[in-house]
Amino acid sequence: MQDFLDYIPHREPFLFVDRVVAVTDDSIQTEKQVKTDEPFFAGHFPGRPIMPGVLICEAVFQSGAILMGKLADTQADDGRIPVISRISNVKLKHAVKPGDLMEMEVTLKEVVGPAHYLAGKVTVGGKTALTVEFSAMLVTETA
């Protein structure tokens, strides 16, 4: 799925998905190659760089937003943006380091009205780095 950027408004330097590997009616698999020169490594942590957990979560959220946009056949320029409305059960289990390949999998659990309930998992080198449950909606951008 080369056109995944059509479904989300995110762009560099705040884009944490490089590629969509697979997408079905209720799940998506994506990847992010973590570069050794990512700017956040300079301060997190000098001499012992690890990717901040909130940015690992963001990679999952962006993957979920791509899935939501694809399922709704919503283009990023239609005026609606994906917003997170709930985050729960975040578990950080393994560090993500410079040069790692993050593999994200997001599964749609339920849709209630505009709310999408999803679960995400990130693996690095076959090890689970993070799991999270979250809900999100596509909303009309307001000033």
Task: Tell me the catalytic residues.
Answer: 44
Rounded CA separation 66/72 (Å): 10
Question: What are the tokens at 11?
Answer: 């762009």
Q: What DSSP line would sit under 28-46, residue for residue?
A: EEEEEE--TT-GGGGTS-T
